[in-house]
Amino acid sequence: MNTKTSQFRKLLHKGLVIMPGAFNAYSALLIEQAGFSAYYISGAGLANAVFGVPDIGIPTLPEAAEHARRIDQTVSIPGISDADTGFENISATIKTFEASGVAGIHLEDQQTDKRCGHLEGKKLISAKEMGKKIEKAITTKKDKNFLVIARTDAAAVEGFDAALKRAKLYEDAGADAIFTEALTSEKEFAAFRQAIKIPLLANMTEFGKTPYLSIKKFEALGMNMVIFPMTLFRVAAKSMQQALVELKQKGTQKGILEKMQTRQELYKLLKYNP
């Protein structure tokens, strides 16, 4: 039995679970070192950082699950993984991600040719079809503590009221939690909290539709989980771009040494003593 699933459930009972996004095993180590109690694996992070492609559902189930396994085995804290639209076969998806070691996954109600949740042009499956996916996921999981989170992208497609209606249906279908994607105000988060009894996950991504809210604000709004899916990746990518400009223009990296993690710091994090 995966002890990280029960570990995550205990965190949920204690209060707001804050999950920075890990785009590889090393970033997960940094998250743990910084004192966070959980991490998140973004589908966009997998697509962008590992495959060098947009977040349009290109990675396969085996690739996504192996990515999750590699990250999870590196740290002692539990994590939640993006499972996109479920990779066509919900039973296989649940079984594969349970075996990867993560504490749970989320499934979204977009069509298979999905897009980033904060972009225009998303297409949804019917609420009824999504409800059946959730029911299948719940009946398939072997570990009762494995979290199946239902994500609805309806707010930006069908409107807020439709998103709330879908969330209630997904709750009735047996979802362990609801992921409220691309909400645009504190008022909308509060309305979800008032209407939904099960835990809620908020996405505090950058450059999207959701205003920048603090952890304290999410706590006050009654959220149970908040993810920062691409924060580390975006900071790392910008730093790498700047380092490459420096190297290209000056022909040496000497001027940016102070911005680097030292060899000693790296080895300390890896618990390596050569």
Catalytic residue among 84, 98, 153, 188: 84
Catalytic residue among 2, 48, 116, 224: 116
Catalytic residue among 55, 109, 171, 188: 55
129 catalytic? Reply is no
3-state secondary structure of 40: strand
Catalytic residue among 151, 166, 188, 234: 151
172 catalytic? Reply is no
Question: What CA–CA distance (Å, rounded) separates 42 from 197?
Answer: 25
Catalytic residue among 108, 153, 171, 176: 108
Catalytic residue among 9, 67, 106, 234: 106
206 catalytic? Reply is no
181 catalytic? Reply is yes
Catalytic residue among 40, 67, 98, 153: 40
* The two three-digit tokens of residue 97, written as one number: 């991600």
109 catalytic? Reply is no
55 catalytic? Reply is yes
> Could you give the maximum distance between any two Cα atoms of the chain, in Å?
61
As a dihedral over the C-alpha atoms of residue 22, residue 166, residue 206, residue 45, rounded to 10 degrees, the angle is 30
| Contact criterion met (CB below 8 Å) for 152 and 127 | no
108 catalytic? Reply is yes
82 catalytic? Reply is yes
176 catalytic? Reply is no
Catalytic residue among 181, 188, 224, 234: 181
CA 197-191-181 angle, to 5 degrees, is 85
Catalytic residue among 24, 32, 67, 82: 82
70 catalytic? Reply is no
List C-alpha distances in Å: 241 to 177, 236, 238, 244, 261.
38, 9, 5, 5, 16
Interior/surface letters 20-37, b for 16+ CB within 10 angstroms, e for the rest:
bbbbbeebbbbbbeeebb
Q: Which residues are catalytic?
A: 40, 55, 82, 84, 106, 108, 116, 151, 181, 203
